[in-house]
Chain A
Amino acid sequence: MLIRHTPDLTDNDVTPKEVYLRRREIMAAGIGFGLALAGAGAQAAQVTGKLSAKRTFWTNETPTDLEAVTGYNNFYEFGTDKLEPVKYASALTTRPWTVKLDGDCAKPQTVDIETLLKGALEERIYRLRCVEGWSMVIPWIGIPLAEVIKRAEPLSKAKYVAFETALRPKEMRGVSDRILQWPYVEGLRMDEAMNPLALLAVGLYGDLLPNQNGAPIRLVVPWKYGFKSIKSIVRISFTTREPPTSWNRYAPNEYGFYSNVNPQVDHPRWSQATERRIGEFKRRPTLMFNGYADNVAHLYAGMDLKKYY
């Protein structure tokens, strides 16, 4: 059992101590930070700031170094090399930023990122397993996806949730290469999206999300391969049919709609039985649903996971 809810960790285990000790001060600064931004104009630069959040879910595994979490990213809009997003994602303007909620719902609306940041935020320490065979442990800060979905009051016929990343050719140097069909799109079944583990992250390691990690708001579904956790979201739509997903569209025989972490179902070109935790030398066994079987296995009861990979 890897998920521990025993209070053997305190808030200063992940948050750097000096930040933890100054947390009230920092929260106050956060309020001023929004105002400062208003005056900053349309400058394309990394928006930074501290976030305050209550830790609601964690693992006792050591979080991956911040430098690795923010310096080794797959974000093809900024280049296909994992070292490129940290170099080029600062070109992305993340304020103002809104997320459009539409499709089969009673209350379609546009949500401002500042509104979401003002709400109650949670810190969740999740494992992240990339389909390429490496993994990290990341202290995210965010809002349960279910809470945002509920704002729109999806209709009962809405069975799926579709997500879309911003498409800004002037800011995203990678989209001139038609490697994937842009904008990047992802999707979840409604019950997956409503699962309490599904998070819309707005920060990590106590800070606002760095651009290369999907600022200002990204999905985190820790029981699925990393590419399902779509970055820099501008639109969430409710649909009756299974929505297209970018990697599935690129290579349907390699990347399924579900893409749950599953050590028994190999990627056609490589094994998924083991993974290398960034910062460790030896590979470790990959766990079913990335170790979150207790939380999500019921979603797939009776499904042939070799067929619905």
Chain B
Amino acid sequence: MKAKRGFTPDIALICGLCLLPVLWLLWRFFQNDLGVNPVETVVRQLGVWGLRLLVLGLALTPLARLLRQGRLIRWRRPIGLFAFGYVTLHLLSYVVIDQYFDWAQIWSDILKRPYITFGMAAFVLLIPLALTSFNAAIRRLGGVVWRNLHRLIYVIVPLGALHYFLLVKADKSMPLVYAAIIAVLLAWRAWEWARKKV
């Protein structure tokens, strides 16, 4: 049976769900309900949703295997692209509403603040992945090159989690939850590769 392609109802549903966090933020903005420090709320919410979607994207392959639902593999692209979207908005919110285009400060943050260095590295590495997330790119690059390129995600997601871990002042419990989930998802892959090699 040939898998359904294109903008199928399940993909449409995924896209709709992925839009909810940003719509919720917009709603809160217009309701003047972003709290005492709205800039902080917006920057953090966009960042944390970027990370959540990245982790979810990483979970789809093991989930597809575990649940025997090959369909889930097709959800990786919209979820990955929405993750990129949130990460981009997160970065833009830092540049525009947090630092207000203070380029000197932003540049020194990138060089001097490890959490910003790692966050920025994760963003830069995401760009080629987002740019090659369409069928023609896969054809042009060839499956093997494309797949190797997209394995960058195994570096990007831990960088994102590290970025989060380093910026938290004291209560590291949430960053550690993300780190643990990511560790499990990556360990599963390592285990799969080791098994295949034998």
| Chain A residues within CB distance 8 Å of chain B | 67-68, 71-72, 76, 80, 82-83, 132, 134, 177, 179-180, 250, 266, 269-271, 273-274, 276, 278, 281-283
**8 A Cβ contacts from B91-109 to A:** 97-100, 102, 105, 108-109
Determine whether B169 belongs to the interface, using a CB cutoff of 8 Å to chain A.
yes
- Contacts A177-B171, A283-B99; is A68 near B36 (CB within 8 Å)? yes
Cross-chain contact A274 with B105 (CB below 8 angstroms)? yes
Cross-chain contact B171 with A179 (CB below 8 angstroms)? yes
Cross-chain contact A72 with B114 (CB below 8 angstroms)? no
Determine whether B39 belongs to the interface, using a CB cutoff of 8 Å to chain A.
yes
Task: Give the 7 A-B CB pairs with smallest separation, nearest first.
Answer: A80-B171, A72-B36, A68-B36, A179-B170, A282-B100, A179-B171, A278-B36
Q: Find chain B residues with CB under 8 A from A266 CB.
A: 112
Cross-chain contact B169 with A281 (CB below 8 angstroms)? no
Q: Find chain A residues with CB under 8 A from B40 CB.
A: 134, 276
Cross-chain contact A276 with B36 (CB below 8 angstroms)? no
10 additional A-B pairs beyond A271-B108, A276-B39, A278-B37, beta carbons within 8 Å, are: A134-B40, A177-B171, A177-B173, A179-B171, A270-B113, A271-B109, A271-B112, A276-B40, A281-B100, A283-B100
Cross-chain contact A72 with B105 (CB below 8 angstroms)? no
Q: Find chain A residues with CB under 8 A from B108 CB.
A: 271
Determine whether B166 belongs to the interface, using a CB cutoff of 8 Å to chain A.
yes
Q: How far is the CA of A282 from the CA of B39 in the complex (A)?
A: 10
- Contacts A269-B115, A271-B113; is A283 near B102 (CB within 8 Å)? yes
Query: How near does chain A come to B116, taking the closest CB pair, in angstroms?
Result: 8
Q: How far is the CA of A68 from the CA of B41 in the complex (A)?
A: 14
Q: How far is the CA of A281 from the CA of B39 in the complex (A)?
A: 8
The B contact surface, by secondary structure, is: helix
- Contacts A282-B100, A283-B100; is A269 near B167 (CB within 8 Å)? yes
Cross-chain contact A80 with B170 (CB below 8 angstroms)? yes
Q: How far is the CA of A11 from the CA of B136 in the complex (A)?
A: 71
Query: How near does chain A come to B5, taking the closest CB pair, in angstroms?
Result: 44
Count, chain B residues at interface, CB 8 A? 23
Q: Find chain A residues with CB under 8 A from B115 CB.
A: 269
Cross-chain contact B39 with A67 (CB below 8 angstroms)? no
Cross-chain contact B102 with A276 (CB below 8 angstroms)? no
Q: Find chain A residues with CB under 8 A from B100 CB.
A: 281-283
Q: How far is the CA of A271 from the CA of B111 in the complex (A)?
A: 12
Q: How far is the CA of A282 from the CA of B102 in the complex (A)?
A: 10
Q: Find chain A residues with CB under 8 A from B169 CB.
A: 132
Determine whether B128 belongs to the interface, using a CB cutoff of 8 Å to chain A.
no
Contact with A along B112-128 (1 / 0, CB 8 A): 11110000000000000
Q: Find chain B residues with CB under 8 A from A282 CB.
A: 100
Q: How far is the CA of A80 from the CA of B115 in the complex (A)?
A: 20
Contact with A along B16-56 (1 / 0, CB 8 A): 00000000000000000001110110000000000000000
Cross-chain contact A71 with B36 (CB below 8 angstroms)? yes
Query: What are 11 A-B pairs with beta-carbon distances under 8 A?
Result: A68-B36, A72-B36, A134-B37, A180-B170, A270-B113, A271-B109, A274-B105, A276-B40, A278-B36, A278-B37, A283-B99
Q: How far is the CA of A223 from the CA of B165 in the complex (A)?
A: 29
Q: Find chain B residues with CB under 8 A from A271 CB.
A: 105, 108-109, 112-113
Cross-chain contact A67 with B36 (CB below 8 angstroms)? yes
Q: Find chain A residues with CB under 8 A from B167 CB.
A: 269-270
Query: How near does chain A come to B108, taking the closest CB pair, in angstroms?
Result: 7
Q: Find chain A residues with CB under 8 A from B173 CB.
A: 177
Q: Find chain B residues with CB under 8 A from A177 CB.
A: 171, 173
Which of B98, B115, B166, B170 has most chain A Cβ within 10 Å? B170
Q: Find chain A residues with CB under 8 A from B109 CB.
A: 270-271
Cβ-closest chain B residue relative to A134: B37
Query: How near does chain A come to B24, taking the closest CB pair, in angstroms?
Result: 17
Cβ-closest chain B residue relative to A81: B171
Q: How far is the CA of A177 from the CA of B166 in the complex (A)?
A: 19
Q: Find chain B residues with CB under 8 A from A276 CB.
A: 37, 39-40
Cβ-closest chain A residue relative to B38: A281
- Contacts A269-B115, A283-B100; is A72 near B35 (CB within 8 Å)? yes
**8 A Cβ contacts from B49-92 to A:** none
**8 A Cβ contacts from B113-153 to A:** 113-115
Q: How far is the CA of A229 from the CA of B102 in the complex (A)?
A: 31
Q: Find chain B residues with CB under 8 A from A76 CB.
A: 170-171
Query: How near does chain A come to B83, taking the closest CB pair, in angstroms?
Result: 25
